[in-house]
Chain A
Amino acid sequence: MLEAVEVLSARMAQTESQTDEAGLIRAAQKGDQDAFERLVRSYDHSVLRVAMNLLRSPDEARDVYQEAFLKVYRNLHTFRFDCSFHTWLYRIVTNICLDHLRRRKVRREESTVVETSEGVVDRMSQLEEGAPHADPERQMWNRQLGGKIDQALESLTPRERAVFELRHYEGLRLRAIGEMIGTTEEAAKNCLFRATQKMRASLEAFV
């Protein structure tokens, strides 16, 4: 009996996870809040990861998360299934991230590095301290490398940075990245080359 209940609950869970995404989008378009929330949950981890990797600032990543999903909420009724929902959402997220990066360039801010009473602190490097069992030497190395990588990333243009991060950390194809940032696959490829050359020059001691 217990086994039958387990099988039944496993099947129910399986059916639930197989729910048609298009059906979910259509329900959300008709105002079904529960469907919208399920849609958000299917993608929000990736959205936050993209924002974290692109901006390397938890605060800005939170802003991008909220701005992107509010935009999706307001404009979901205009989504026509011309492309996949994933592509549509990533286009929104990338554009918001690019706006943040451009604003940051204008302000000439180092978003992850802040001045405190104890001196200059990199907020991103502090996040790693949550792993209590990790090797201290490795943590030190990671911090040094992390600082250098952040500096190298800051030297890229917003577009170069977006192309590199989306290709390297999100595994997106150059063609898809080109579509997202409104350019061709070839231009995205050139951008990737410039970005990697600049970063490798900055990180020469580490690679």
Chain B
Amino acid sequence: MNCNEVVREIPPYCYGEVSPAIEETLEAHLADCPACTRELAKHRKFLTRMDERAEMPDTGMLASCRTDLRTAISRVPAPVATNWLESFRNLWQLNIPFRVPVGAMALVALGFFAARVTPERFGGMKAGLSEPMFSNVRSVEPDASGQVRISVDEVHRRMVSGALGDANIQQLLLEAAREENNPGVRVESIGLLKNNVDSEEVRNALLDALTRDQNPGVRLKALEGLRPYAGNKDVRKTLASVLVKDENAGVRVQAIDLLTTHRDDSIVGALQNALQYEDNTYVRAQCERLLAEMKASVGTY
């Protein structure tokens, strides 16, 4: 990868949107190229500047938009599906138990057997796995006949698929949520895990991502997942800490929105603390409103 190619990959790299192979090549190039390293630093600084300019609608604006929308909708006749085509289409929405997993299993099975019976020359499955990679050479022994015996550790890449509820899939997703090198993988994993937030292990993984992950996209996904548990004591404690410490205004906005869903006097200190440093208008307004509702002062004395 030359310098021009690296410069083109820097924007997606900063958002965690390059493939592992490109990421590896790019990082290897950066390690030896001061010019590209400077370019990366400048790009990161540009992104930080843009973060400072994020626009957040205030509560008053949101409330008036809602009122205007309600008025506009009251003037529109309620639309309903009426013709036979619509009714036929609605059949697909019938609530048949396990429709989605059964359908998915059937498709997987169909694909599997189709690949088995399709001859290789028509694109069917090759016998055996794809070519393995090796991570380490253990020993090299030449013998008298001119042959060489090499002992290597092989690494196989394989696709694993299964339902989200499957325990093994769940474990892999929890591992992927901690994948340090690829924020894209972390965003996807947290996005999937948040659908199973009833599990304490998943909830802890989301809390961990919310407080530790460097990528704001991952933290926002974790916040979305924690929404049903906004009343939980541990979750609220973490949200209060995020409100004070998180550098990303978008994350703080989501955190205060979750905190406002339940009244809880134990977060008064955190709200007062946040007000001392917060420069986002919306977050400030929400903190002040919550404190006023709890009859607490807006400052600490």
Cβ of B65 under 8 Å from chain A: yes
Interface residues on B, range: 35 or more
Do A149 and B53 touch across chains, with their CB atoms under 8 A apart? Answer: yes
- Tell me which of B54, B76, B231 contacts A169 (CB under 8 A): B54
* Most chain A CB neighbours (cut-off 10 Å) among B53, B227, B228, B276: B53
Given contact pairs A70-B72, A77-B79, A131-B284, A138 touches B262 in the complex (Cβ within 8 A) = no
> A168 touching B231 by the CB < 8 A rule?
no
Shortest distance between the CB of A166 and any CB in chain B (Å): 11
Chain B residue at smallest Cβ distance from A170: B250
Complex interface residues of chain A between 170 and 191 (CB less than 8 A to chain B): 171, 173-174, 189
Contact A145 B281 (CB under 8 A): no
- Mask, A123-160, CB within 8 Å of B = 1, is 01001101101110010001001100100000000000
Q: A10-B231, A56-B55 are in contact. Are A81 and B93 (CB under 8 A)?
A: yes
- Whether the Cβ atoms of B62 and A48 lie closer than 8 Å is yes
The CA-CA distance from A200 to B78 in the complex, in Å, is 48
- Do B228 and A18 have beta carbons less than 8 Å apart? yes
- Does A92 have its Cβ within 8 Å of any Cβ on chain B? no
Chain A residues positioned under 8 Å from B284 (CB to CB): 130-131, 133
User: A130's contact among B93, B216, B217, B285, by CB below 8 Å, is which?
Assistant: B285
* Chain A residues with CB below 8 A from B76, complex form: 70, 73-74
A145 to B49, CA, bound (A): 8
Would you call A66 an interface residue if the criterion is a C-beta within 8 Å of the partner chain's C-beta atoms?
Answer: yes
Chain A residue with Cβ nearest B86: A77
- Cβ A174 vs Cβ B12 within 8 A: yes
Of A76, A135, A174, the residue contacting B79 (CB under 8 A) is: A76
Chain B window 77-99, contacts with chain A (Cβ cutoff 8 Å), 1 for yes, 0 for no: 01111000010010011000000
Return the chain A residue nearest B279 by Cβ: A134
What CA separation (Å) do A169 and B86 show in the bound complex?
Answer: 37
- Given A77-B80, A134-B279, verify A207-B184 contact (CB < 8 Å): no
Q: Is the CB of A13 within 8 A of B231?
A: yes
Whether A14 is near chain B, meaning CB under 8 Å from some CB there, is yes
Nearest-neighbor residue (CB-CB) of B251 within chain A: A171
Interface string of B1-44 (1 = CB under 8 A from A): 00000001001100101000000000000000000000000110
How many residues of A sit at the interface, in one of the four size bands?
A: 35 or more
- CB of B184 within 8 A of CB of A173, answer yes
Query: Are the CB atoms of A171 and B216 closer together than 8 Å?
Result: yes
With A14-B231, A66-B65 known as contacts, the answer to whether A73 contacts B55 (CB < 8 A) is no
The yes or no answer to A100 lying at the interface (CB within 8 A) is: no
Q: How far is the CA of A163 from the CA of B249 in the complex (A)?
A: 20
Contact indicator B17/A17 (Cβ below 8 Å): no
The answer to whether B78 and A168 touch across the interface, beta carbons within 8 angstroms, is no
Question: Which residues on the B side are within 8 Å of A189 (C-beta)?
Answer: 11-12, 17
In the complex, whether A193 has a CB less than 8 A from a CB of chain B is yes
A27 nearest CB across to chain B (Å): 12
Interface of chain A residues 1 through 53 with chain B (CB within 8 A): 10, 13-14, 17-18, 26, 29-31, 33, 36-37, 40-41, 44-45, 48-49, 52-53
Interface string of A190-207 (1 = CB under 8 A from B): 001100100110010011
Task: Please state if B81 and A200 are interface contacts (CB–CB under 8 Å).
Answer: no
Given A44-B62, A81-B93, A189-B12, 9 other A-B contacts at CB below 8 A? A49-B253, A56-B55, A65-B65, A76-B79, A77-B79, A138-B279, A142-B53, A189-B11, A199-B46
Q: Which 10 A-B pairs have the closest CB atoms?
A: A171-B217, A52-B55, A48-B57, A207-B46, A130-B281, A77-B81, A18-B228, A134-B279, A10-B231, A65-B65
